Amino acid sequence: MQNILSLFIAPFLVSSVISYLATPYAIKFAYKIGIIDDPKRNIHPKVIHTYPTPRGGGLSIFFALLISTIIFLPADKYIISILIGATLLTILGVVDDKFNLNPYHRIFLQILIALIPTLSGVGVAFLTNPFASGTIDLTTPSYALNLFGNLYILRPVFSLFTLFWIVALMNFLNMGAKGVDGQLPGVTAIAALTIAVLSLRYSADIAQWSVIILAAIVAGAFLGFLPFNIFPQKIMPSFSGSLLAGYFLAILSILSTTKVGTLIVVLGVPLIDTSYTIIRRVLSGKSPVWGDRGHLHHKLLDQGFSKKQVSYFYWVATATLGLIAINLNSSYKLYAIIGLIILLGGFLLWLTYRSKH
């Protein structure tokens, strides 16, 4: 156990220090290339900051993730594909920070980038059946394809589910977990730490060591960025930061034994809030991906919560759900998710009613 803890602590500390030291340079770079979000120019209902703030916080987070992963993990085909995907997502995020790309174009590019780790073999091979014993195999059907003398195995369900999970998590965290100062890095770090704790249960399996290390790196990178993003924020994580958060949490849930259900429970508040937001927009005849001021964090601010209090609410909720998820089996995870859907839905309706009266 001491060896496992040392494997966790070293990458966590190195990643957090790199992120902390790199963020001031990211701020200078943001000013240099003009990715500054000025609320007087960027007039939008979802914009809640009151002074010009640099975008591009994902740059320092990415730098910490990249360097720490190179130091602590072997450069196998999985790690290489994950880092290539992370590099392209960071570039996409910075380009969006500069030019405000069309959301549908961004999703299309995210799908192409998520294909990189998926085609390397990173994917959800099975889901635990919450209604019966056993699992649901996602690797069937499979088809052999001989292309230029090389044999490839195509698993359409495996690939499509993995793509959906990675892209969905990136966008749901972007929409529902980065509305206020400090919200995203805190939520992401807590979720990564939860995966690390769960993976420690299987530390006798040497294959889980890489998951523990990567989870520690992710947690450290976002916590190192947090002092610059907590209220009053000096830089935003912006689109690149939320992309990296969703991407690496999705990858960790795939590589670890915790799988998808656990992460859905841990991230229940932003995921369910975003789901309700998408449904509300569609029923109102609006685009599901164009922002508004209807998220839970907006409603809490409207009720008089400070930005710090909203962040603390999300951190505490994520940590509480993480503790719960650690002790749940598959069937109870399903019940927990259903309970969260009902509870959060009722809370959102109550907040909406209060804001109108």
Can you give the pLDDT at residue 146? 74
**H helices, E strands: number in the chain:** 13, 6
Can you give the pLDDT at residue 300? 94
Residues in CB range of 74: below 8 A, 6 or more apart? 210
* Radius of gyration in angstroms for the set of CA atoms belonging to the chain, rounded to a whole number: 20
Residues 164 and 260: beta-carbon distance below 8 Å:
no
Residues in CB range of 349: below 8 A, 6 or more apart? none
The total domain count for the chain is: 1
Q: Say whether the peptide bond before residue 141 is cis (omega within 30 degrees of 0).
A: yes
Structural domain containing residue 340: 2-356
Can you give the pLDDT at residue 144? 79
Tokens standing for residue 260: 């998808």
DSSP letter (8 states) at residue 233: P
Distance CA(185)–CA(239), nearest Å, equals 13
Tokens standing for residue 335: 């019940």
Backbone φ and ψ for 55, nearest 5 degrees, come out as -95, -175
Residues 171 and 246: beta-carbon distance below 8 Å:
yes
Q: What is the pLDDT of residues 326-338, one digit of tens each?
A: 888 777 888 899 9
- Unique residue bearing structure tokens 């649901």: 136
Q: b/e for 187-210, b at 16 or more Cβ within 10 A?
A: bbbbbbbbbbbbbbebbeeeebbb
Q: Say whether the peptide bond before residue 232 is cis (omega within 30 degrees of 0).
A: yes
Residuewise pLDDT in 10s, the chain (357 residues): 556 667 899 999 999 999 999 999 999 999 999 999 988 776 656 667 778 999 999 999 999 999 999 999 999 999 999 999 999 999 999 999 999 999 999 999 999 999 999 999 998 888 877 777 777 888 888 887 776 667 667 789 989 999 999 999 999 999 999 989 999 999 999 999 999 988 887 665 666 789 999 999 999 999 999 999 999 999 999 999 999 999 999 999 999 865 788 999 999 999 999 999 999 999 988 889 877 888 999 999 989 999 999 999 999 999 999 999 988 877 788 889 999 999 999 999 899 888 776
Can you give the pLDDT at residue 145? 76
Distance CA(229)–CA(27), nearest Å, equals 11
Q: Which of 218, 226, 217 is nearest to 71 (CA)?
A: 217
Q: 53: which strand partners?
A: 37
For residue 290, how far is the Cα from the chain centroid?
Answer: 19
Q: Which of 169, 174, 171 is nearest to 46 (CA)?
A: 174
Residue type, 304: G
Tokens standing for residue 33: 């290339």
Q: Which of 52, 67, 53 is nearest to 22 (CA)?
A: 67
Q: What is the pLDDT of residues 77-136, one digit of tens each?
A: 999 999 999 999 999 999 999 999 999 999 999 999 999 999 999 988 888 777 777 778
Can you give the pLDDT at residue 109? 98
